[in-house]
Amino acid sequence: MGERFVIPAKGLSKEHILRALGERKAGDADFMSPRTWSLVYYLGEEHTALVREAYNLYFSENALNPLAFKSLRSLEHEIVRMAADLLGGGDAVGTMTSGGTESCLLAVKTWRDYARARRPLLRKPEMILADTAHVAWEKGADYFDVKIVRAPVGPDFRMDAAAVEKKITKNTILIVASAPDYPHGMVDPIAELGELAARRKIPLHVDACLGGFFLPFAERAGYSVPTFDFRIPGVSSISADLHKYAFAAKGASVLLYRDMDFFEKQFFVSESWPGGVFLSTGLLGTRPGGAIAAAWAALMGMGMEGYLEMAKTTMETARRLREGIGAIAGLEIIGEPMGSVFSYRSRDPKVDIYAVGDRMEAKGWHIDRLQRPEGLHAMVTPRHAIVVDHYLADLAEAVVAVRANPDLKRQGDAATYGMIARVPLRGAVRHEVFKMARSMYGAEARPDAGLGSGSDGGNK
Ligand SMILES: Cc1ncc(COP(=O)(O)O)c(C=O)c1O
């Protein structure tokens, strides 16, 4: 029998509760620290304070009903218009969502329903994407019963339009490309894919969740950036996350369509529900007003000047890191990423990249591991500018240490990551992950195993 958690009989004091929360957080990855290389986007206290205050101003408001909270509708409208302008789609329409995953899921649903409306005989809709597309698309295909058809990536880890064309069948409802992809930071050849999509009359969605609020600023700051947005006529829809490089609060993305006839397929309407006539444009019912207000505040607070500065610092930092990593014997950058995201791997059989990851972790860096190919990941923000030399020195030392001690790959997380990545039977991996999830989410689980927790909800 696990520990019992019950709502405390009497409410605890504010000081007590906040102290307990503070204690729990103490062991987490530090979102302010440049030692963290994914998940968080932090520009500094001034910007965060603004976004937080804006969020708090709308803490209780619910964007579910835009007639009750008209100001939220106007804020969302302005955010969508600013995003459309930034992404070359002056007339594009769309909505805010709770994040990249919701944007991807909704795009799958919308394009499936668009195809169904036009092709009544369509049996099993298919969408074409590369392995490098974000896993949210796989989730969307699973949720909305769309078959995934995988298009191979070339040696540069980008999709190849000719290979995509070979995968088109009468059931194809959508092609998905990334700008850039999460694992390697590569921008797919959107111009070629757009030409193909227009010629074969198939919608092309550009997943710019990562790049939508980064690449346009880099381009305007004078960097050479491949065109990926609505300026390419074959692009039908784009997702772009505000809670990534727009530095908004979590829970904010936009999903844009070139045409209202596309967007309309995203709407859900119930005209006879006893609760009233109901319209919803996204997956959620209740929608936090704070996330919308915070996103608006982030765009207003940064302004073009702030974002251009952010993009410049990030581009220079990423370039220095890539060059430094490329100069470490035994390591290489995967593909040829040009922006804020990249990954690297070992090209020395004596250097296990996961063991390098462990060594970096032990030095206090939080780094994501990749598989197929095995590698380490970096999502660069301006915060990382001050740690480039430190990171590269630690990395060079880690590579030397791992090369000198081959046993390291059989220890610690390296052994686990290596085992997971190299097991040929993916069904076995899946089975293990299900087992882990059941134990993490079971009634007897101790997901935190830790700090400040107690059977009375933190009452110590
Ligand atoms: C390209 C891409 N698409 C979609 C997503 C999903 O975004 P979220 O984590 O906000 O749901 C991500 C997240 O990193 C991403 O990189």
Residues whose CB falls within 8 Å of the CB of residue 197, separated by 6 or more in sequence, listed in order: 175, 203, 204, 234, 235, 236
* pLDDT number for residue 416: 86
Both 367 and 251 in one domain: the answer is no
* pLDDT number for residue 126: 98
- Per-residue pLDDT, averaged over 383-389, amounts to 96
Tell whether the model's pLDDT for residue 209 goes beyond 50: yes
Ligand 1 center from residue 181 Cα (angstroms)? 9
41, 98, 101, best to mutate for ligand 1 pocket (most atoms within 8 Å of CB): 101
Tell whether the model's pLDDT for residue 259 goes beyond 90: yes
- Per-residue pLDDT, averaged over 184-192, amounts to 98
User: Which of 239, 235, 298 shows the shortest CA–CA distance to 98?
Assistant: 239
- Per cent of the chain over pLDDT 70 is 96
* pLDDT number for residue 447: 62
* pLDDT number for residue 457: 37
- Angle between helix axes 70-86 and 289-326 (nearest 10 degrees) is 30
142 is a domain residue: yes
Both 125 and 245 in one domain: the answer is yes
CA distance 353 to 333: 12
- Per-residue pLDDT, averaged over 12-25, amounts to 96
- Per-residue pLDDT, averaged over 259-267, amounts to 98
* pLDDT number for residue 1: 58
* pLDDT number for residue 32: 86
Ligand 1 center from residue 153 Cα (angstroms)? 19
312 is a domain residue: no
CA distance 443 to 167: 45
Instruction: Give 62-88 pLDDT, tens digit per residue.
Output: 999 888 999 999 999 999 999 999 999
- Per-residue pLDDT, averaged over 302-325, amounts to 98
CA distance 361 to 416: 15
Both 62 and 36 in one domain: the answer is no
CATH number for position 68: 3.40.640.10
Residue of minimum CA distance from atom 6 in ligand 1: 100
Atom of ligand 1 nearest to the CA of 101: 11
- Asked if residue 99 has its Cβ within 6 Å of ligand 1, the reply is yes
CA distance 342 to 334: 7
Residue of minimum CA distance from atom 7 in ligand 1: 100
In this structure, of 92-101, 306-315, 401-410, the range with the lowest mean pLDDT score is 401-410
Residue 248 has φ and ψ, to the nearest 5°, of: -90, 180
Domain count, the chain: 2
Structure tokens at 68: 């009750």
453 is a domain residue: yes
CB of 323 within 8 A of CB of 338? Answer: no
46 is a domain residue: no
CA distance 432 to 447: 17
CA distance 125 to 131: 19
37, 134, 239, 245, best to mutate for ligand 1 pocket (most atoms within 8 Å of CB): 134
Both 87 and 152 in one domain: the answer is yes
CA distance 83 to 90: 9
Tell whether the model's pLDDT for residue 56 goes beyond 60: yes
Both 96 and 240 in one domain: the answer is yes
Determine the residue type at 353: I
Atom of ligand 1 nearest to the CA of 180: 1
Bond preceding residue 66 cis, omega within 30 of 0: no
Question: At 409, is the secondary structure helix, strand, or coil?
Answer: helix
- Per-residue pLDDT, averaged over 370-386, amounts to 96
Both 137 and 246 in one domain: the answer is yes
144 is a domain residue: yes
326 is a domain residue: no
Tell whether the model's pLDDT for residue 450 goes beyond 60: no
Place of tokens 């220079």: 316
User: At which of 269, 299, 329 does a domain end?
Assistant: 299
- Confidence class of residue 28 from pLDDT cuts 50, 70 and 90? confident
- Confidence class of residue 448 from pLDDT cuts 50, 70 and 90? low
Q: Strand 375-379 relative to strand 341-346: parallel, antiparallel, unpaired?
A: antiparallel
* pLDDT number for residue 299: 98
Q: Which helix (H) or strand (E) holds 358?
A: helix 353-362
- Confidence class of residue 453 from pLDDT cuts 50, 70 and 90? very low
Both 137 and 248 in one domain: the answer is yes
Both 153 and 203 in one domain: the answer is yes
Place of tokens 């190299």: 422
E strands, 336-431, where?
341-346, 369-370, 375-379
CB of 251 within 8 A of CB of 300? Answer: no
CA distance 439 to 446: 9
CB of 362 within 8 A of CB of 414? Answer: no
Tell whether the model's pLDDT for residue 97 goes beyond 50: yes
* pLDDT number for residue 249: 97
Q: Which residue range forms the structural domain that includes residue 355?
A: 11-40+348-460
Bridge partners of 291, per DSSP, are none
The DSSP output letter for 410 is: G
The DSSP output letter for 396 is: H
Tell whether the model's pLDDT for residue 201 goes beyond 90: yes
Both 398 and 270 in one domain: the answer is no
Tell me the average pLDDT of the chain: 94
- Per cent of the chain over pLDDT 90 is 85
Sign of CA dihedral 117, 177, 87, 89: negative
- For 398, how many CA atoms within 13 A lie in the half-sphere containing its CB? 25
98 is a domain residue: yes
Both 363 and 403 in one domain: the answer is yes
Instruction: Give 220-256 pLDDT, tens digit per residue.
Output: 999 999 999 999 999 999 999 999 999 999 999 999 9
- Asked if residue 377 has its Cβ within 6 Å of ligand 1, the reply is no
- Per-residue pLDDT, averaged over 295-303, amounts to 98
* pLDDT number for residue 43: 93
CA distance 79 to 299: 8
- Asked if residue 100 has its Cβ within 6 Å of ligand 1, the reply is yes
Residues whose CB falls within 8 Å of the CB of residue 298, separated by 6 or more in sequence, listed in order: 47, 50, 51, 54, 242, 246, 247, 248, 249
- Per-residue pLDDT, averaged over 6-25, amounts to 96
- Asked if residue 238 has its Cβ within 6 Å of ligand 1, the reply is no
Structure tokens at 412: 């610690």
Ligand 1 center from residue 243 Cα (angstroms)? 10
- Asked if residue 176 has its Cβ within 6 Å of ligand 1, the reply is no
The DSSP output letter for 383 is: G
User: At which of 239, 271, 299 does a domain end?
Assistant: 299
CB of 209 within 8 A of CB of 246? Answer: no
Both 35 and 134 in one domain: the answer is no
User: At which of 283, 299, 315 does a domain end?
Assistant: 299
- Per-residue pLDDT, averaged over 279-284, amounts to 96
Tell whether the model's pLDDT for residue 418 goes beyond 80: yes
Both 286 and 165 in one domain: the answer is yes
381 is a domain residue: yes
Tell whether the model's pLDDT for residue 444 goes beyond 90: no
- Confidence class of residue 332 from pLDDT cuts 50, 70 and 90? very high
> H helices of 156-254, where?
161-167, 190-200, 215-220
Determine the residue type at 45: E
Tell whether the model's pLDDT for residue 459 goes beyond 90: no
Ligand 1 center from residue 329 Cα (angstroms)? 32
- For 86, how many CA atoms within 13 A lie in the half-sphere containing its CB? 29
- Asked if residue 325 has its Cβ within 6 Å of ligand 1, the reply is no
Ligand 1 center from residue 53 Cα (angstroms)? 25
Tell whether the model's pLDDT for residue 452 goes beyond 70: no
- Per-residue pLDDT, averaged over 145-154, amounts to 97
